[in-house]
Each structure stands twice: as C-alpha cells, then as structure tokens.
C-alpha cells in the first residue's frame, strides 16, 4: 500500500486526531496557566499587594467560562445549535454527493453526530434557559 | 496521480486552513496569557 492509497482510505482520521491533539494541548496548557495564576494571586494576597488588573481580568475570564450570565449562556446555546445544524447539513450534502464511494460512511457518521448535537443544543436552549 | 489526488481532495484546503487558524489562535492566546503571567511575576519580584 503506497501513501496515496493510505491517504485515500484514512484521510478522515485527520479530523478526530486534530481534535484530540487540540483538546489535549488546550487542557494541559490551561491547567498549567490556571495553577500559575492561582499561585501568583495567592502570593500577591499574602504580601498584601494589589494584583495587576490584567491578572484579575484573566482570573475573572477563566471563572466566567464556567458561570456565564443567563443571556450569554442562551446566546451560546443558540449559537451551538446553529453551528451543529450547519455542520450536520454540510456533511449530509457531502455524503449525498459521494454516497457511492467507499468512504461515504465517514460523512454520514459526522452528519448524524452533528445532527444529534444540534438537537441536544436546541433542547437545552428551549428547556434549560428559564432559571 | 498527484493531480488526481488533488482533484479528489481539493476541498480539504478549507478544513485544513481552519485547523491552521485554530492552532495559530491557540498559540497567540497562549502567548498573551503567558505574557500577563510573566509580567505579574516580574512585578512581584521587583516588589511592586
């Protein structure tokens, strides 16, 4: 099997591998930065000094990631729905055009996954937004 | 062979571009946050 055949059979693997690599890198980097940030804030507090505003802004931003305002959260859910629905539609169209090819299943799997995520985002938007 | 491969997979340019931009964005964001942390540490060491 030469490179071209290998690429033709497994090109779709680049997406999950990229996703995994990005998730792993992002997670490890953000963990390291959060630890450093907390250490710095603690040192400033222990010494009775005012932490730099950029550092406080960064800390507030990382806290906001978990506790968004309701309006922002709803917008975020709505945007998730739009993105997943668009991806699902795109991959469905892609699958339709290449449905006779051997690798068409990859498009269908992604389209169905994105469709389920879109429905989930829509349900959260409709049912989970009133608190 | 190469031309045929390109004809079949030209559309991969778009997701690959997206991936490159995502990596670029992550690096830039990381560098900005690292600079803030470095600056805060330097201020602390200078006793400010």
List, for residues A7-40, the tens digit of each pLDDT value: 998 998 999 899 999 999 999 998 999 999 999 9
- Kindly report the average pLDDT of chain B as a whole number: 90
This model of the complex carries an ipTM of: 0.82
| pLDDT tens digits for range A117-129 | 999 999 988 887 5
At residue A81, the pLDDT reads: 92
Rounded CA gap, A100 and A98, in Å? 5
Question: Scanning every residue of chain B, which has its alpha carbon at the shortest distance from the alpha carbon of A2?
Answer: B1
**B19 is a domain residue:** yes
What confidence tier does A74 reach under pLDDT thresholds 50, 70, 90?
confident
**Which runs of consecutive H residues, i.e. helices, occur in A65-103?**
70-97
Closest C-alpha to A11, from A116, A120, A103, A74: A103
**B33 is a domain residue:** yes
Q: Are A91 and A104 in contact (CB under 8 A)?
A: no
**B27 is a domain residue:** yes
What confidence tier does A76 reach under pLDDT thresholds 50, 70, 90?
confident
Question: Scanning every residue of chain B, which has its alpha carbon at the shortest distance from the alpha carbon of A12?
Answer: B12
Rounded CA gap, A5 and A95, in Å? 20
Across the interface, of A7, A8, A40, the residue whose CB is closest to B37 is A40
CB contact under 8 A, A11 and B30: no
Q: Are A25 and B23 in contact (CB under 8 A)?
A: no
**B22 is a domain residue:** yes
**B31 is a domain residue:** yes
CB contact under 8 A, A26 and B26: yes
Closest C-alpha to A87, from B7, B8, B14: B14
For residue B33, give its domain range: 12-46
Please give the residue that has the higher pLDDT: either A60 or A74.
Answer: A60
**B25 is a domain residue:** yes
Contacts of residue A121, Cβ cutoff 8 Å, sequence gap at least 6: A77, A80, A81, A84
The 8-class DSSP code of residue B11 comes to G
Rounded CA gap, A2 and A64, in Å? 49
The 8-class DSSP code of residue A101 comes to S
Number of separate domains in chain B: 1
**B5 is a domain residue:** no
Residues of B in contact with A8 (CB under 8 A): 5, 8
Q: Are A104 and A95 in contact (CB under 8 A)?
A: yes
Residue B23: pLDDT above 80? Answer: yes
**B6 is a domain residue:** no
The 8-class DSSP code of residue B48 comes to -
At residue A63, the pLDDT reads: 72
Name the strand (E) or helix (H) holding A22: helix A14-46
Mutation site for A-interface testing, chosen from B13, B30, B37 by largest number of A Cβ within 10 Å: B37
Average pLDDT for residues B7-27, to the nearest whole number?
92
Using a CB–CB cutoff of 8 Å, tell me whether B46 touches chain A: no
């Amino acid at each position: 099997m030469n490179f071209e055949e290998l690429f033709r059979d497994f090109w779709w693997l680049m997406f999950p591998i990229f996703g995994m690599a990005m998730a792993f890198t992002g997670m490890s980097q953000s963990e390291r930065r959060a630890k450093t940030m907390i250490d710095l804030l603690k040192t400033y507090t222990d010494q009775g000094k005012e932490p730099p505003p950029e550092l406080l802004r960064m800390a507030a931003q990382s806290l906001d990631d978990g506790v968004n305002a309701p309006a922002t959260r709803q917008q975020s859910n709505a945007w998730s729905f739009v993105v997943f629905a668009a991806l699902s539609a795109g991959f469905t169209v892609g699958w339709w055009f290449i449905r006779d090819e051997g690798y068409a299943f990859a498009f269908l799997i992604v389209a169905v996954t994105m469709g389920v995520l879109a429905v989930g985002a829509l349900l959260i938007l409709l049912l989970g937004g009133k608190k | 062979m190469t031309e045929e491969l390109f004809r079949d997979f030209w559309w991969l340019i778009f997701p690959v571009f997206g991936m490159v931009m995502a990596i670029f964005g992550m690096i830039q964001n990381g560098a900005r946050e690292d600079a803030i942390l470095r600056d805060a540490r330097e201020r602390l060491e200078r006793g400010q």
